[in-house]
């Protein structure tokens, strides 16, 4: 049984020596570029950890972990283009470093490559790709909902939770389930891991929203309030509208509208003040805890020695308790 | 055994009642739109014809035919965006009717949907998706080569043939092979159909290039010379450069360069005149015939009653002899 640190070292070693196809270079160089610029590699690690719950030779799950990571990076390449985000992990995003058409086409190739990486599992192939396709299309649906929220005045909170579940959580859930299936887990065991990952993913995202607004700037390492500046309709915003008095929520709505003249720090300060008045941070913490507990109940339900679950539990706790 | 006309009627009936997923509408409406605006449906028909060589219940191959058609339309949606082509079959292309981001994201969803359509073939699933992924990534490679040719002064003729093989022929080849495999053909039989489709696809493309430049405007139904106006480096252009005298080929090169002042009809006329001097049309006809004969040799090699091959042979001849 491996610790997350060990799994991470093993995967990075595999990743660093991975031989991307070379020709045409204009198609494959951008793939290599985006895959090499880092990130926490949470998803492939979840896949390896899911496998390692059942089997020791984790190398067997490398290709599936890679499929997940290539898919995740495909979605980043296309999302960055759609969001006109010029930076990714501090470096130029693919459409900036190359151009828009390259981001489209190399992204497409990555989506196909992720399916090809699953071909080395003939025994589980239908099951794995079925799960993978279902997840992949859900990620598209989540991205679409996210884009549509921009033009909606006040999306439902339930729809927001569904959006973050689709956009981020289902891929984490899929990673864990894939690893487990390759490791020989039963469908029902693998489903517990799926639910663990999905609920944990939602809890992560709420944590992310909280850190972005209430985090310690020095610890987070970037200016807080990014979501507010982008007027993202996060849980904090949507729930505040419910919690605040009519006058206050109207003020908040105006701050998020095009008619506001407030910008920069002033905008952030005024929104944060309203968030604090609403005590939405307490609600968010509670909601995060609900999903966290739901997640852990599924981990608990696994028919395995408790000891085997420790690395996964610790990693989840670490991510959920993080202050940056 | 069905004629192509019968296969076409059956497939269009299936296509017209196909139930696309509905939510989020902003993701799936554009899919329905592009799938509904027509086209010759050559690829899905090839799949059904490949199946029908071996089995009668062609409904069994509808999902595979649909997978191919959805993939083909995905590639049109992304290609139109990359090429900034505002029309598709006389109607607004997806990025024009909706917007760029919708074209990217709904295109992505279509690529995933095409994999999902193959899930109904559990017995052949690995074999089918392996072929499909290989083909899909080749189509991306072909599109990349096509984009790269724009900035190359004089790509090799071999590279041009490889490009058209990847960009268009391998998908036709894949359609036929998939249909055959689902119909129970052996790998070696299915490979003959693949080679038939691939070589026929190359012959089609040469025919397309010829029609675009030497076609009868009234029969083709659009102005000829579109490739020349776009300064596309087709076989006609590349081979002419080889065939013409040094002075003439320099003139042609200048006409295709940014430094030329010639535009519109004048540009087309002068280029066509040089093409005629070079007799490149004769060379193109000969090359087309080489691929056509190669294609038919693979059809001939199939261990089937000659009579069963008639619809496919007639359809291919019809396409290859077309004057519009």
The pLDDT of residue A5 is above 80: yes
Phi–psi pair at B216, nearest 5 degrees: -90, 115
pLDDT number for residue B38: 81
- pLDDT value of residue A321: 87
A101 vs B107, B125, B147: nearest CB: B147
Question: What's the token pair of residue B264?
Answer: 């519109």
Q: Contact A77/A34 with Cβ under 8 angstroms?
A: yes
Give the C-alpha separation, B145 to A229, whole Å.
Answer: 41
pLDDT at A221: 65
Domains of chain B: 1-185 (1.10.600.10), 186-324 (1.10.600.10)
**Higher-scoring residue by pLDDT: A142, A324:** A142
CA-nearest residue to B131 within chain A is A116
- Name the residue among A129, A136, A140 with its Cβ closest to that of B105: A140
User: Do B26 and A148 count as a contact with CB atoms less than 8 A apart?
Assistant: yes
Give the pLDDT band (50/70/90) at residue A38: confident
Closest approach of chain B CAs to the CA of A87, in angstroms? 18
Residue B36: pLDDT band by 50, 70, 90 thresholds?
very high
pLDDT in tens, B126-175: 999 999 999 999 999 999 999 999 889 889 999 999 999 999 999 999 99
Q: pLDDT tens, A183-225?
A: 999 999 999 999 999 999 999 999 999 999 998 877 766 678 8
pLDDT at B220: 65
**Which range, of A115-129, A167-181, A193-207, B210-224, averages the lowest pLDDT?**
B210-224
How far apart CA B222 and CA B273 sit, in angstroms, is 20
Rounded mean pLDDT of A41-48? 97
A306 touches chain B (CB under 8 A): no
Mutate to test the interface with A, among B133, B152, B163 (most CBs of A within 10 A): B133
Q: What is the mean pLDDT of residues B255-261?
A: 88
What ipTM was estimated for this complex? Answer: 0.95
* pTM confidence score: 0.95
Q: Of A105, A137, A143, which has the smallest distance from its Cβ to B82's Cβ?
A: A105
pLDDT over 70 for what percent of chain B?
Answer: 99
Q: Residue B46 has what pLDDT?
A: 97
% of chain A with per-residue pLDDT over 90: 87
- What DSSP assignment string belongs to B234-302? -HHHHHHHHHS-HHHHHHHHHHTSTT----HHHHHHHHHHHHHHHTHHHHHHHHHHHHHHHHHHHHHTS
Q: What is the mean pLDDT of residues B82-91?
A: 92
Confidence of residue A158 (pLDDT cuts 50, 70, 90): very high
**Which pLDDT value is given to residue A76?**
97
Query: What's the average model confidence in pLDDT over B65-91?
Result: 96
- The arithmetic mean of pLDDT across residues B296-321, rounded, is 93
B221 has a pLDDT exceeding 70: no
Q: Give, in order, the Cα–Cα distances in Å from B72 to each of B87, B94, B114, B148.
A: 16, 14, 9, 21
Give the DSSP H or E segment for A87: strand A87-88
What does the pLDDT read at residue A144?
A: 97
Average pLDDT, chain A: 94
B127 touches A: beta carbon within 8 Å: no
Nearest Cα residue in chain B from A110: B137
Q: Would the pLDDT of B185 be above 80? A: yes
pLDDT digits (tens, 9 = 90+) for B109-134: 999 999 999 999 999 999 999 999 99
- Whether the predicted pLDDT of A108 surpasses 80: yes
Helix (H, G, I), strand (E, B) or coil at A92: strand
Q: CB distance from A147 to chain B under 8 Å?
A: yes
pLDDT class of A86 with cuts at 50, 70, 90: very high
Q: How far apart are CA B236 and CA B18, in angstroms?
A: 41
Q: What is the CA radius of gyration of chain B?
A: 20
pLDDT at A324 over 90: no
Range A223-246 average pLDDT: 92
Task: Please state, in angstroms and rounded to a whole number, the distance separating the CA atoms of residues A40 and A168.
Answer: 14
pLDDT of residue B262: 84
Q: Which residues pair with B87 in a beta bridge?
A: B92
Give the gap in angstroms from C-alpha A275 to the nearest C-alpha of chain B. Answer: 30
Give the pLDDT score at A215: 86
Distance between B125 CA and the closest CA of chain A, angstroms? 7
Question: Can you tell me the mean pLDDT for B213-229?
Answer: 81
pLDDT of residue B217 exceeding 80: no
List, as ranges, residues 8-47 from A with C-beta within 8 Å of B.
Answer: 23-24, 26-27
Between the two ends of chain B, the Cα-to-Cα distance in Å is 28
Give yes or no for residue B218 having a pLDDT over 80.
Answer: no
Would strands B91-92 and B87-88 be described as parallel, antiparallel, or unpaired? antiparallel
Q: What is the reported pLDDT for B153?
A: 85
Q: What is the residue-averaged pLDDT of chain B?
A: 94
């Amino acid at each position: 049984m491996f610790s997350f640190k060990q799994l991470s070292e093993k995967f990075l070693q595999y990743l660093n020596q991975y031989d991307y196809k070379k020709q045409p270079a204009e198609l494959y160089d951008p793939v290599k570029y985006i895959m090499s610029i880092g990130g926490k590699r949470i998803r492939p690690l979840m896949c390896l950890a899911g496998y390692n719950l059942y089997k020791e030779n984790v190398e067997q799950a490398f290709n599936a972990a890679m499929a997940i990571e290539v898919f995740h990076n495909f979605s980043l390449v296309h999302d960055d283009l759609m969001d006109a985000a010029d930076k990714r992990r501090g470096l130029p995003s693919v459409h900036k470093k190359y151009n828009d058409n390259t981001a489209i086409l190399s992204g497409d190739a990555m989506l196909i490559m992720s399916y090809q990486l699953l071909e080395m599992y003939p025994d589980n192939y239908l099951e794995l790709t079925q799960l993978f396709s279902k997840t992949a299309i859900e990620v598209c649906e989540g991205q679409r909902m996210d884009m549509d929220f921009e033009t909606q005045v006040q999306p439902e909170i339930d729809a927001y939770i569904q959006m973050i579940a689709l956009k981020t959580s289902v891929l984490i859930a899929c990673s864990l389930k894939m690893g487990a299936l390759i490791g020989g887990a039963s469908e029902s065991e693998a489903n517990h891991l799926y639910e663990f990952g999905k609920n944990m993913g939602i809890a992560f995202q709420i944590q992310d929203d909280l850190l972005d607004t209430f985090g310690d700037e020095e610890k987070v390492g970037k200016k807080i309030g990014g979501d507010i500046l982008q007027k993202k309709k996060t849980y904090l915003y949507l729930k505040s509208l419910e919690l605040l008095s009519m006058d206050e929520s109207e003020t908040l709505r105006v701050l998020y509208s095009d008619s506001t003249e407030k910008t920069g720090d002033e905008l952030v300060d005024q929104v944060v003040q309203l968030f604090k008045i609403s005590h939405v941070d307490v609600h968010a913490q509670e909601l995060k805890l609900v999903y966290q507990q739901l997640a852990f109940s599924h981990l608990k339900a696994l028919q395995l020695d408790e000891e085997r679950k420790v690395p996964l539990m610790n990693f989840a706790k670490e991510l959920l308790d993080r202050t940056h």
